[in-house]
Structure 1
Amino acid sequence: MNKKRNLTGGRLRVFQVAVLSLSLLLASVSVGGCLLGDLAKEFPDAPTWYLQMFVTFPVVGGMIANIIGGAMASKVGKKNLCLIGIMMCFIGGFFPMFAPTLGLKIGIRVIASIGVGLIQPLSASLIVDFFEGKTANTMMGLQSSCVGLGASIFSYTMAAIMVYNWHFAYCAYLYALAIFLLVIFGIPSFVNEVGKEEKTESHVEKKEKTKLPKIAYVGFALQLLYCLGYCAIDNCLSLASVETGVITTVQAASIASWGGIASLIGGLFFGFVKNKIGMKVGPLSLVLNVIGLAIIGMTNTTVMWYIGVTILKVGFCWWMPFINFFVNDGTDESNSALATSFGFVGNSLGSFVFGYVLAGASAMLGGINSHQAFVYGAIIVTVVLVILLAYNAKSKKKEAIA
């Protein structure tokens, strides 16, 4: 760990940029939802749930990578694991362009999701490993904002290419190659030794590992339910544009891209808001999610969809850091990483089953189209809000009795 102090000036800045650049790829799989409208035209016989697998099914790879990534890091090194993840993200994102069938496109995208799953925990753990105090807090805030920035970069690039020919939108994943080079030259080689050093130093501490607190499981459930509502934005926006006929798929992609900018800006204010209202930022973020989803689902004009997506994305970029704080309430150094992974896996699982749950709800209710799915999403997130408020009230009651 002492080696990190040898990085100063320009080398330190490049290291920081390289670490933050990892987060630019975290939304690179979900933004592929902007292609669903055009894929529906290319594969007219494919049911909606199958089309949505273009976004949802690859998440399986991310879940697997989240589970095994920690064990791999201690063996292959964190920098090496980052490079492997980035290259898999490029392969799985770029090469579906050449796949002739929808099923093959979906299968190749699983590779991209595995890459993102490897990168996701490292994008945060490298900050914890090498930065402290105010610098670490600033880096964490920027890390959250970079997720939104990455979504915008990928979405706007795809939208621009779609104006020419949507089949070439996969070229946006060439950004991964630039990030690959930045990580090679920006992250020092001694980063590969961090996991191995920590494993040796904490050998005795592992015997004292404490039980994972109940709140981590609650956080997993909240994330799972949350994604069953929120994921309407990733899976249904492009399809809804085709259904309503009010905007084109290119305009829908532009709206989704703007959502990334809104998330980026909102993330910069998360720390300020949390300092003012504390953990109440969680319920507030869910209220914003409900409002944003309802606006999109109950209107069909470009302006209102921009407004709805803006509100929704601000709510999203406040919810994600909140849930990381939430699941770590009561943890220590021995189990904090495991608790955090519960939130990530809940997120991934919710994203994966979204299409199937929506299809089931549609069958039960006599049909839910892609535009109405946003109202469905608002209802699901409202349920999450009620559960969170009930849990908080129960916890406060226990504290008062104690």
Structure 2
Amino acid sequence: MNEKQKTKLGLYLCSVLIMGVIAISSNLANIIASFPDVSSATVITCLMSVPFLLVIPTSLLSGKLMSYFSKKKLIITGVLFWIIGGLAPYFLTSLPAIAVMRGLLGAGIGLMQPSSNALIVEYFDDQAERKKTMGQLAASQMLGLIMFSLLSGTLGTLGKWNITFLIYLIGIIPLIGAIILLPDITPTKRKTSTGAKKQFVATKFIWVWILGAMIFMTGAQTYSNTASELIQELNLGNSIDAGYSLSFYAVGGLIIGLIFGKISQKLGKYTVLFGGDLVIIGSLL
């Protein structure tokens, strides 16, 4: 296995963790039932919304941190945050304390995701290979979602509401993979020919893209946050069935991720439009 193959494997292992916030979604109804004195909206906020709120500032901060620390170090730190923040609620009974740990989980994802993408851009010069690797990275994320949904749903049938948090022990494998496989590249500050630092300027298109991504993620999270509770409320099944529903939700992303490189080559600038159309059609169906 050459260095590039090792790097890809390390990134794929870590990307499995990116959808870690949703890992407990299949068992969300059982967790809500374990806090009868707290509204379901409050429980969902602590378990699902708080991590994503921490993802945003940490992702923005990671861009600055990449100027001082190698991407490998940031990814490893993110994985450690992911494991600690994900596993700690197993030992806790206080909802505010659980929310703090879930926030740490979100911070870990906020470090991992941008750093992984940046490492691909930095390490792979060939445009086609870069796009293919990006697609496979996304496919690994969907594979992680499928795995987490099924395992969480199965754990949810074992009785205790908190046992589903043991699923975060899986993070130990990507942690070892990141330490062994990822290259430790010393960061360098990029400068223009005049010696001044390059400044990123967001265009109107970028802001439109950000707004569209926010709307999409809002819809996606609404589904994952309510699927488990809705399925059990309507007597359609248990946490295992909720896991199946979330797994099928991720299958499409897995397939597209595996062939993203070819799709991008064929469609070019229309790739994003094609993806948006698929989302709209799937939502309507």
TM-score of the aligned structures, taking structure 2 as reference length: 0.89
Counterpart code for 1:159:
G
Counterpart code for 1:259:
Y
Residue 258 of structure 2, aligned match among 268, 273, 276: 268
1:119-170 CA distance string (max 9 Å, x none)? 1101111111111223222211111111101112222222232232453111
Equivalent position of 2:109 in the other structure: 116
CA change 1:38–1:274 in 2 (3 A) is same
Shift of 1:32: 2.5
1:317-351 CA distance string (max 9 Å, x none)? xxxxxxxxxxxxxxxxxxxxxxxxxxxxxxxxxxx
1:121, 1:85 → 2: CA distance?
11
Shift of 1:210: 6.1
Counterpart code for 2:31:
L
Cα RMSD of the aligned pairs, angstroms, is 2.2
CA change 1:104–1:35 in 2 (3 A) is farther
Residue 174 of structure 1, aligned match among 151, 169, 173: 169
2:260, 2:3 → 1: CA distance?
28
Shift of 1:113: 0.4
Count of equivalent residues:
282
SS of the aligned residue for 2:89 comes to helix
1:179-218 CA distance string (max 9 Å, x none)? 11111111233x2x0x2x2x06558464554632111111
CA change 1:59–1:206 in 2 (3 A) is farther
Bigger drift between 39-48 and 269-278 goes to: 269-278
Equivalent position of 2:63 in the other structure: 70
SS of the aligned residue for 1:247 comes to coil
Equivalent position of 2:155 in the other structure: 161
CA change 1:81–1:59 in 2 (3 A) is same
2:124, 2:254 → 1: CA distance?
22
SS of the aligned residue for 1:246 comes to coil
SS of the aligned residue for 1:231 comes to helix
Q: How does 1:245-394 map to 2 (within 5 A)?
A: 245-295=235-285
CA contact (8 A) 2:78 2:109 kept: yes
Shift of 1:175: 1.4
User: What runs of 5+ residues in structure 2 fail to find an aligned partner?
Assistant: none
Residue 218 of structure 2, aligned match among 219, 225, 228: 228
User: What runs of 5+ residues in structure 1 fail to find an aligned partner?
Assistant: 1-8, 296-402
Equivalent position of 1:14 in the other structure: 6
SS of the aligned residue for 1:25 comes to coil
Equivalent position of 1:38 in the other structure: 30
Counterpart code for 2:75:
C
TM-score of the aligned structures, taking structure 1 as reference length: 0.65
Counterpart code for 1:216:
I
2:281, 2:36 → 1: CA distance?
33
CA change 1:205–1:168 in 2 (3 A) is farther
1:229, 1:11 → 2: CA distance?
39
Residue 152 of structure 1, aligned match among 137, 146, 155: 146
1:209, 1:67 → 2: CA distance?
15
CA change 1:49–1:168 in 2 (3 A) is same
The alignment status of 1:91 with 2:81, answered yes or no, reads: no
Counterpart code for 1:177:
I
2:274, 2:261 → 1: CA distance?
14
CA contact (8 A) 1:94 1:174 kept: yes
The structure that has the greater radius of gyration is: 1
Counterpart code for 2:113:
Q
CA change 1:69–1:241 in 2 (3 A) is same
Equivalent position of 1:305 in the other structure: none
